[in-house]
């Protein structure tokens, strides 16, 4: 049974400019998607004037649009028109960028506003060109992932923008927690670079005189990926896990003195990973997963998305829901539901409809 939706009756407007799939638009779309799942009426306003200017830019990929914009209404207008102010005036919550925030009269904005920017601080109002990738560089994220000898590596997908979307939703939900939307004003400010630095807080020395923490270690990392018979497994463990890992590996070389202490393991990380990999090459991911469960070890088989879709754990939790089929689709299309169970129930059927183009906005 789907629980009562907490934001039923609330109208949320997303009005963020920029090219399709740009960071702030994706962030706003993620925040709006969560509001929509939780019952709000969400209107995604597209800047038609900007679209004309960016006609060379690729359209937002179909999969991204289906994932982020389901259950929303999509309205096109020129952001400079009075039409946008009219839509915002009737909303309870607005998610906007600084251009919209600056161009709409304050009394046309709802009481709860999230103001998104690429940069915070003194550069919050500047037009420095940036992407999720270059913000990940400035926030030290790229410095943490990949091989030390090779180029820094981004995480899959749109993690920076989505994390900003989560933060945007978090700020707005906090402002709405104890009062109706029409009460006190709340302006939530968050920037893409702030959220990356927040996520990457362990890269900064917390003691003022401490050395700078090291960056990506690649093959020398304490936690890393190793091969097994049918793919890869994430080698993740803490100090108390070491004796159990030795037992699970079943190769006496792991008990050599040089691996006995954490310091020794760090100094010989490449050799240690090789020993473990050799032992795991005769076992499948599923076998290793079962063994890890029995030894209470935090190892993780690397599942491909297609495998995750069929994984028994995800099936038991009904993590994936089928979208209604479009005319072009030849088979069922799945996407993850909102990742919360509320008194044991999912906000089910939350994904589905392809966004509805609405000509006249809200009434």
Partner 1 sequence: MSVLKGCRVLDLGIITAGAATSAILADLGAEVIKIESPTYRDPFRLWPSGEGKADDDMPPLFRATNRNKLAISIDLKQEAGREVMLRLVACSDVVVENFRRGVLPKLGLSFEALRAVNERIILASVSSQGETGPDASHVSYGSTLEAVAGFAWGTGYQDDAPVISGRDVNYPDQVAAIFAASMITTALRSVHTGGPAVHLDLSQRDLTSFLIGETFVAASMGEEIGRNGNAQAPFLLQDCFKAADDIWVAISVRDADLGALSTLLGRNIGQDDAALRSALAAHIATQDSDPAAHTLQQIGLAAAPVQDGAGMLKLADESWAHAIQCFDGKRVKGFPFQIDEQPLSIDRPAPRIGADTAAILSAIAGYSADEIGALAKAGVIELGSA
Residue 264 in the binding site for partner 1 (CB under 8 A)? no
Nearer to partner 1, 313 or 360 (CB): 313
Nearer to partner 1, 208 or 359 (CB): 208
Q: How far apart are CA 144 and CA 119, in angstroms?
A: 20
CB 104 within 8 A of CB 91: no
Which is nearest to 203 in space by CA: 213, 193, 195, 194? 213
Residue 191 in the binding site for partner 1 (CB under 8 A)? yes
For 139-221, where are the alpha helices, taking DSSP H only? 159-175, 192-199
Three-class SS of 329-343: CCCCEEEECCCCEEC
Nearer to partner 1, 48 or 317 (CB): 317
Contacts with partner 1, 304-333, as mask; x by CB under 8 A: xxxxxx-xxxx-xx-xx--x-----xxxxx
The token pair at 211 is 């050395």
**Of 89, 90, 189, 253, which one interacts with partner 1 (CB under 8 A)?**
189
Q: How far apart are CA 335 and CA 197, in angstroms?
A: 29
323 pairs with which residues across the strands?
A: 333
Q: Which of the residues 59 through 118 are near partner 1 (CB under 8 A)?
A: 61-64, 66-68, 114
Residue 138 in the binding site for partner 1 (CB under 8 A)? yes
**Of 24, 104, 186, 272, which one interacts with partner 1 (CB under 8 A)?**
186
Region class of 352: left (phi > 0), else alpha (psi between -120 and 50), else beta:
left
Contacts with partner 1, 12-41, as mask; x by CB under 8 A: -------xxx------------x---x---
Residue 11 in the binding site for partner 1 (CB under 8 A)? no
Nearer to partner 1, 343 or 363 (CB): 343
Q: Which stretch binds partner 1 (CB under 8 A): 73-81, 85-93, 95-103, 122-130?
A: 122-130
The token pair at 203 is 């890269």
Q: How far apart are CA 248 and CA 286, in angstroms?
A: 14
CB 284 within 8 A of CB 233: no
Q: Which of the residues 223 through 242 are near partner 1 (CB under 8 A)?
A: 223-225, 227, 232-234, 236, 238
**Of 85, 246, 302, 362, which one interacts with partner 1 (CB under 8 A)?**
302
Residue 257 in the binding site for partner 1 (CB under 8 A)? no
Q: Which of the residues 143 through 162 are near partner 1 (CB under 8 A)?
A: 143-147, 150-159, 162
Q: Which stretch binds partner 1 (CB under 8 A): 102-110, 183-191, 248-256, 352-360?
A: 183-191
Nearer to partner 1, 45 or 196 (CB): 196
Nearer to partner 1, 10 or 77 (CB): 10
The SS3 call for residue 75 is: strand
Q: Which residues contact 48 (CB under 8 A, 6 or more apart)?
A: 76, 77, 78
Q: How far apart are CA 129 and CA 125, in angstroms?
A: 12
**Of 215, 264, 352, 361, which one interacts with partner 1 (CB under 8 A)?**
215
């Amino acid at each position: 049974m789907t629980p009562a939706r907490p934001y039923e009756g609330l109208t949320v407007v997303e009005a963020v400019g920029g090219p399709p799939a740009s960071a702030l638009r994706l962030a706003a779309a993620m925040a709006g998607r969560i509001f929509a799942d939780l019952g709000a009426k969400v209107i995604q306003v597209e800047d038609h004037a900007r679209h004309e200017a960016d006609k060379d830019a690729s359209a937002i990929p179909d999969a991204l649009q289906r994932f982020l914009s389901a259950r929303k209404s999509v309205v096109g207008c020129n952001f400079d028109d009075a039409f946008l102010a009219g839509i915002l005036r009737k909303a309870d919550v607005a998610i906007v960028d600084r251009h919209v925030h600056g161009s709409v009269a304050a009394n046309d904005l709802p009481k709860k506003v999230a103001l998104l920017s690429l940069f915070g601080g003194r550069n919050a109002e500047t037009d420095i060109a940036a992407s999720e990738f270059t913000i990940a560089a400035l926030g030290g994220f790229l410095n943490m992932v990949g091989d030390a000898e090779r180029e820094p590596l981004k995480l899959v997908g749109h993690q920076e923008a989505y994390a900003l979307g989560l933060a945007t939703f978090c700020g707005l939900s906090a402002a709405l927690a104890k009062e109706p939307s029409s009460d006190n004003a709340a302006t939530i400010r968050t920037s893409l670079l702030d959220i990356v630095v927040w996520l990457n807080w362990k890269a900064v020395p917390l003691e003022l005189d401490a050395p700078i923490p090291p960056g990506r270690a690649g093959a020398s990392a304490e936690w890393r990926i190793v091969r097994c018979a049918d793919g890869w497994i994430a080698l993740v463990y803490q100090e108390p896990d070491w004796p159990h890992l030795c037992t699970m590996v079943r190769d006496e070389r792991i008990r050599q003195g040089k691996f006995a202490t954490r310091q020794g393991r760090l100094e010989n990380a490449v050799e240690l990973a090789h020993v473990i990999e050799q032992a795991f090459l005769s076992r499948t991911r599923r076998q290793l997963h079962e063994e890890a469960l029995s030894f209470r070890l935090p190892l993780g088989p690397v599942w491909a998305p297609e495998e995750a879709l069929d994984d028994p754990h995800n099936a038991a939790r009904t993590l994936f829901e089928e979208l209604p089929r479009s005319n072009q689709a030849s088979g069922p299309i799945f996407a993850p539901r909102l990742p919360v169970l509320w008194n044991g129930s999912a906000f089910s059927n939350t994904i589905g409809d392809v966004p509805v183009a609405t000509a006249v906005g809200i009434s």
